Amino acid sequence: MRSYSFFTIILLCLAILLVDTLAFYWLKSITQLLQEVFLQNFIHITFWTFTIGLITAIILLRLRLKVTHPYLNQLLITSLYGITIASFIPKLIFVVVISVLYFTNYVFSEEESLIVIPVIGLFAGFLPFLMICYSIFRTLYRFKVHHVKINFNELPGNFNELRIVHISDLHLGSFRSRYHILDRAIRLINHLEPDFIFFTGDLVNNHAWELKGWQSVLKKLNAKTGKYAVLGNHDYGDYGKWKSEERKRANFESIKYFYKKIDFKLLLNEAESIEKDGQKIAIVGVENWGNPPFKQYGDLKKALKSVANISFKILLSHDPSHWNKEVKKHTNISLTLSGHTHGMQAGINIKSKNWSPIQYKYKQWAGLYKHFNQYLYVTRGLGWMGFPGRLGMRPEITFMELHQQ
């Protein structure tokens, strides 16, 4: 909420008020069928009490309602976000469906229209409401393992059948110290017995205090050869308001130091070579690089300098747009791993059919992509940010097996 201007918040509240006014107009067509006047009034009063309460809460939160505990503040923001989405979208669909049916009706008589069409609209709005509730209360923490096998000509024989777990976008502040939830994901990861675990950024939402208590949880992650990470756009503290640059810098240093506590090697525009019986592969990691307005801290040329003579490279880069701009066609990097998009936490995944509104912003937004002998994999993320739900985009653990072709 804090990242939006007050003008934007007012526009949102006006949109809610407009949609609710139209929804109430059609709602009366349904409540008039009730014989009890008391029940009619109860529904009407409840409707407007909720609307006014929601708008008031949004405005108060934007005006920086002072909350003593940061976790409670996070809870308020995400709860309001979820309630707003769960309320606004179904009502909007309800109004649109009724309006379209009413003004294009050639089936029902005028008397029937006043009864049948509002009922159809009610069901049309009630269905997405149930789906949104399902995404919040059922699928938000239903971790899914995606199995991916890729063949490479460049992969050294000694690294054949390399097992990788790729995770991203934990956003630990959103878990609000509920450590047991992530324990389930860690058990799934360790059961896969990976050679490497790669984490591609957005450890926190913004602040280092979100990491409190997570050291003992994340340190349980096991990999036979190594655990590596890079930073995401949320890890720099760029979305917060700081009393001084020193505070922001201290926050950033605390986040970077946390990786040492959980035995992850944080790659900051650098690379590390891995040798096995005389053969080598390179793990390359860049700081966040994104299209504007996201900042470009990443320096791929600097990261590649020390491993230029190694033919097989794996790049960790938080934002998948980096692959198009600097990796694909421009380098000989075989595999790039990214996150960032979350699959917008909403979409459709039916076998090979994948769709999400996020695809209109990011060309590569979820799953495996190929350009000749170069691959990109974009994970849907393990945590969540903003809307406290996942609809058709379950939190992802990616398990990759790399084979020599």
Contact between residue 381 and residue 365 where contact means Cβ atoms under 8 Å apart: no
DSSP, collapsed to helix, strand or coil, labels residue 78 as helix
The pLDDT value given to residue 66: 54
Tell the residue number behind the tokens 């990470």, with chain if given. Answer: 229
How high is the mean pLDDT in each 10-residue block of the chain (405 residues)? 74 96 92 90 96 93 65 80 94 93 80 80 92 95 98 97 98 94 97 98 96 97 98 95 94 98 98 97 98 95 97 98 97 98 93 90 97 97 96 97 95
Q: What angle do CA 355, 358, 363 make, to 5 degrees?
A: 85
Nearest to 88 by CA among 29, 132, 134, 44: 132
Q: Dump pLDDT digits (tens) for 319-339.
A: 999 999 999 999 999 999 999
Helix (H) or strand (E) holding 285: strand 279-285
Q: At what angle do helices 6-31 and 110-137 cross, to 10 degrees?
A: 130
| CB proximity list for 147: less than 8 A, separation 6 or greater | 399, 401
The radius of gyration of the chain's CA atoms, rounded to the nearest angstrom, is: 25
Other Cβ atoms within 10 Å of 279 Cβ, number: 15
Helices 110-137 and 70-103 sit at what angle, rounded to 10 degrees? 150
CATH class of 144-404: alpha beta
Q: What is the tens place of the pLDDT at every residue in 87-121?
A: 999 999 999 999 898 888 777 777 777 778 888 99
CA angle 11, 12, 16 (to 5 degrees): 115
Task: Name the residue ranges covered by the structural domains of the chain.
Answer: 6-137, 144-404
